[in-house]
Amino acid sequence: MPQRIAVSSAATPLPATEVARLEALRRLSMGAAHALNNAFTSVVGEASFLREEHKGDPAVVEACDAILRELDRCTKLTRALLARRHPPQAGRDEVDLARLVRDLVPLLRETLGRQKELAVQLPDDLVLVQGEAGALELLALLLVHQGADVAPGSARLRLAVLPAGATARVELEIEADGLADEAGRVFSQPDAAGDSLARNQLAALAELVARHGGRCSARREGACHLVVAVELPALGAA
């Protein structure tokens, strides 16, 4: 006699408690996003209003322009990161760090701001590491932006990708007047950063470096010169 064989079955429903938890998380995240959007809009509106209201006062105009430029920089960077999201992959790929950094240069120059001058040094050969391309892009972005943030006011940055035998080295040199003594320490000890946002971003950088089997170090070369280096295991040049 013919037999009926089930080839699919209905999905097992989630327990009511799990549904309630997920719904609570959804509402919490939506509420937080709404509150942040309102705060962002308020800051932009107030800064624009003050600039217009006190357009005869150069100090107020300069301060408002600085606030608006910083918000615009953060917005551009956030949009770029969202556009660069990679779907999760089961394995890791061979990534050429030189090409990855070369592709990021326009975004870095656009989002660093007027006071930060960026030079880039890249080799002609491939500098291959094994890892997640999207995570390595975020690593490079965090390295440069956190390096820029430890430099008060104007600064000259030089980003270099250097093959170094068994390791691939991404090096950021920072030249700026008034570099704090702890400017380099925060890269190896994120808890030493002065504010919670910087601590979280530096901790994320450290996590990305560790995930790829690397290490991050920083050294002072004079009162106005700091070198931050990320070393990752290299696959060799092709």
Is the pLDDT confidence value at 6 over 60? no
| More confident of the two residues 122 and 235 | 122
Structural domain contains residue 109: yes
Q: Are residues 124 and 72 in the same domain?
A: no
Q: Each residue of 43-94: pLDDT tens digit?
A: 878 888 888 888 889 888 888 888 887 777 776 666 665 555 555 555 568 8
Burial group, residue 8, by CB count within 10 angstroms (0-12, 13-18, 19+): exposed
Structural domain contains residue 11: no
Q: Are residues 110 and 207 in the same domain?
A: yes
**Domain limit, last residue, from 35, 53, 83:** 83
Q: Are residues 125 and 228 in the same domain?
A: yes
List of residues 6+ apart from 145 with CB closer than 8 A: 77, 111, 112, 201
Residues of the chain with pLDDT > 90, as a percent, come to: 17
What is the per-residue pLDDT for 149?
84
**Domain limit, last residue, from 60, 83, 106:** 83
Q: Which domain, by its residues, includes 206? A: 93-236
Structural domain contains residue 88: no
Q: Are residues 125 and 232 in the same domain?
A: yes
Is the pLDDT confidence value at 176 over 60? yes
> 3-state DSSP call for residue 92?
coil
Most confident of 64-68, 74-78, 199-203, 230-234: 230-234
**Domain limit, last residue, from 83, 102, 119:** 83
The arithmetic mean of pLDDT across residues 154-164, rounded, is 89
Q: Are residues 157 and 215 in the same domain?
A: yes
What is the per-residue pLDDT for 8?
44
Phi/psi for 86 (5° steps) reads -105, 140
Q: Are residues 214 and 163 in the same domain?
A: yes
Count of domains forming the chain? 2
Structural domain contains residue 154: yes
Burial group, residue 24, by CB count within 10 angstroms (0-12, 13-18, 19+): exposed
pTM: predicted TM-score of the whole model, two decimal places: 0.66
